[in-house]
Amino acid sequence: MGVRFSVSVACTAAIMLTTACSAVTVPGSGPSGGSKVKASGPVTLAVVPKAVGFDFWDSVRKGAQCAASKTADVKLQWDGVTAETDVTGQVNLLQDFLTRQVDGLVYAATDAKVLAQVTQDALSRDVPVINIDSGTNPQPSNVPVFATDNLAAARKAADLLADALGPGEHKIAFLPFQPGTVTNDQRTKGFKEGLAKYPNLTLVAEQSSNSDPNTALSVTENILTANPDLDGIFAANEPGVIGATNALNQAGRAGKVKLIGWDASPDEIKGVASGAITALVVQNPFRMGFDSVNAMVQTVRTGRVASSEDTGVTFVTKENINDPHVQAVLQPSCAKPPA
């Protein structure tokens, strides 16, 4: 886990010698070697998810807005494209925020390679950047990532599926969501590394949901038709889980085909409670938004760059869903933000 920061808005001694405490440039102190340090006054941050309209990203928004509400003189601008596959749209949106001269940019990259150029553009303008959920390739050393350890969590997803299926030979399917994004590629790698420990599990189908529940529904239906003896599925994000659950319900195979999912939308939680979903790998999107905004304010105020942070996961099953710790992750509160 990376370093957590509290927000400091005090002027440094050098700045206090001037007639007013205001934005100054401290050579070599900022994120790109010469960034503006805004020790006081209003701070405007842009926070951009991969897409709006998903419960995961809405929880990120709530965490980000919570952090901003607890910090003086911080204004948050939240916006995003409507589909995680709209890479061009996200590039244009981020460039627009840079044109508007925001003080800091917090965003989740829809495409690791394409968005790397946007990060470089921001740094060249002395605008600090923090990535949430998904970074870029390459990932600059002075751009921290606040995200889940997707490799480790996806390996655990393989363990959960193997435990649910038990001994014997089993056929399974995998639903990735958007090849080319860091999160997708890490989850794919982690899951397949985890599967290597279980030679009794045979991966018979791998098809992307394109982060769309309707696509995931269609893909899962096709997989079930081609593999009537399928025993298990791992769906690697919220839309994939929703689509796969709907397909299993319609086929009358919910609960019979073990489904391991990712994220924790209300429909996913209902699926766990009903037994249609065996287990969920639940991230902490509220904390992702909360901690990244706090860290960005610290960077803007002092020039100090945060360390990357593993924001953690919780594995949710029907047996532990009512545990207080699990409920705190599923229903975060700004009145009691993450510790």
Please tell me the CATH code under which domain 13-147+285-311 is placed: 3.40.50.2300
Q: What is the average pLDDT score of the chain?
A: 90
Pairing assessment for the beta strands 43-48 and 74-78 based on DSSP bridges: parallel
Of 25, 29, 32, the C-alpha closest to 124 is: 32
Q: DSSP per residue over 174-242, as a string?
A: EE---TTSHHHHHHHHHHHHHHTT-TTEEEEEE---TT-HHHHHHHHHHHHHH-TT--EEEE-SHHHHH
Position 23 confidence tier, pLDDT thresholds 50, 70, 90: very low
Contacts of 300 (CB under 8 A, 6+ apart): 37, 38, 43, 45, 103, 104, 128
What is the C-alpha separation between 264 and 104, in angstroms, rounded?
Answer: 29
At residue 168, the pLDDT reads 98
Average pLDDT estimate for 95-115: 97
What mean pLDDT is predicted for residues 186-203?
Answer: 98
- Which of 160, 155, 188 shows the shortest CA–CA distance to 174? 188
- The pLDDT confidence band at residue 336, using thresholds 50, 70 and 90, is confident
pLDDT band at 77 (very low <50, low <70, confident <90, very high): very high
- Does the fold of domain 150-283 match that of domain 13-147+285-311? yes
| pLDDT recorded at residue 72 | 93
- The answer, yes or no, to whether residue 19 has pLDDT greater than 50, is no
Give the per-residue pLDDT at 24: 35
Lowest mean pLDDT among 7-16, 175-184, 277-286, 295-304: 7-16
Cβ atoms of 274 and 214 closer than 8 Å: no
pLDDT at 339: 57
What's the pLDDT at 337? 82
pLDDT band at 330 (very low <50, low <70, confident <90, very high): very high
| 20 has a pLDDT exceeding 80 | no
pLDDT of the residue at 143: 98
Q: How confident is the model at residue 22 (pLDDT cuts 50, 70, 90)?
A: very low
pLDDT, average across residues 25-39: 54
pLDDT of residue 36: 77
The reply to whether CATH 3.90.1150.10 applies to domain 150-283 is: no
For residues 153-179, average pLDDT = 97
The confidence band for 9, taking pLDDT boundaries of 50, 70 and 90, is very low
Q: Average pLDDT in the 242-253 region?
A: 98
The model's confidence at residue 85, banded by pLDDT at 50, 70 and 90, is: very high
Rounded Cα gap, residues 179 and 217, in angstroms: 18
Residue 323 has pLDDT above 80, yes or no: yes
pLDDT confidence bin for 35, thresholds 50/70/90 = low
CB of 35 closer than 8 Å to CB of 128: yes
In the numeric block, which tokens belong to residue 46? 């842009």
Residue 226 has pLDDT above 90, yes or no: yes
Q: Domain spans of the chain?
A: 13-147+285-311, 150-283
Least confident of 16-25, 144-153, 202-211, 293-302: 16-25
DSSP state of 31: T
* Burial degree of 321 (CB within 10 A; 0-12, 13-18, 19+): middle
> What mean pLDDT do residues 158-167 have?
98
Hey, what are 174's tokens? 């995998």
How much of the chain, in percent, has pLDDT values that exceed 70?
89
pTM: 0.84
